[in-house]
Homo-oligomer: A and B are copies of this chain.
Amino acid sequence: MAAATRSPSHAQDHILAERKRREKLSQRFIALSSIVPGLKKMDKASVLGDAIKYVKHLQEKIKQLEEQTKKRTVESVVLVKRYHLPADDDSNSSSNDDDLPEIEARASERDVMIRIHCEKQPGVLAKVLTEVESLHLSIVNSSVMPFGNSTLDITIVAQVTN
């Protein structure tokens, strides 16, 4: 319609409010540009554009990192689960050693020693012990040692049950 803003005092309010709004936007633009690294142009369009690229880059990177760590833990769990006591000799002679979880087993008479070097994760000891006990083995001794920040070294001695 024709005349929307009538009173001059209200008009001033409007101007002031709009000024405040612009101020807020400007501050956010500055804040955004300050956390986006490698900004060449500082104009608004470039800040937005580079921020968009940067966010996509960060998302991709996180995706990769999470995949990487997930693969590692999954691998270790799978290996632990799949591991069976050496019924046959074939186990490992020329195995390519991916440096992650290592399992070593020795037998002497009725004693069996199992040593596992793996990533620290909740429930791994219980899993291993359960697995071992399900293999006609009675656990005689066990030790868990933290090593570094994220690694566990588990040593178990068990005896074959009749």
Contact = CB atoms under 8 A, between A and B. Distances in A.
Interface residues of A, number: 53
A111 interface: yes
Contacts of A115: 115, 153
Contacts of A111: 147-148
Interface in A68-82: 68-69, 71-72, 74, 77
Contact of A71 (B61, B77, B148): B148
A149 B31 CA distance: 40
Interface stretch (A2-10, A11-19, A47-55, A124-132): A47-55
Given A25-B44, A74-B151, A155-B153, A69 B65 contact: yes
A137 interface: no
Interface in A108-132: 108-109, 111, 113, 115, 117, 119
Given A69-B65, A147-B111, A151-B108, A32 B58 contact: no
A113 B54 contact: no
Nearest to A149: B71
A35 B62 contact: no
A153 B153 CA distance: 13
B153 A113 contact: yes
Contact of A49 (B28, B55, B66): B28
Contacts of A29: 48
